[in-house]
Amino acid sequence: MAEQPKLRVASEEQAQRYKDYLATFTSVHGARVLEDLKSECGVLAYTPGDIWETFRRTINRDFIAYIEDKILAGSQQIEVEGDDVL
C-alpha cells in the first residue's frame, strides 16, 4: 500500500517560507551551497578539551538540520490555515 503524503498545516507566511527554502536549496546553485555548508558545518561536533568549539559546532550542525527540515516541509503537501490544500 502506498504511503500517503504528509500534510503540514501552516500559516500563509510559513507555507511561503517553506516553498522559498525548497526553491532555493533544490536549485543547482543552492544544492551546491548546501553541500558546502554540510561539509564545513556538519562534521563531528565534539572537540576534546574545548567546550566552546563543541558548542559552536553543535549550533552549526543544528542550523544545517533546520535548513533540511524547511526543505522537507516545502516538498510536502501544505494546508494553509483556513484555506484549501496547496
The model's pTM is: 0.75
CA–CA dist 57, 46 (Å, integer): 8
Contacts with 75 (C-beta within 8 Å, 6 or more apart), sequence order: 22
All three cell numbers of 46, joined, read: 565534539
Q: Give, for all 86 residues of the chain, the pLDDT tens digit.
A: 555 556 677 788 988 999 999 999 999 999 999 999 999 887 778 889 999 999 999 999 999 999 999 999 888 888 887 655 44
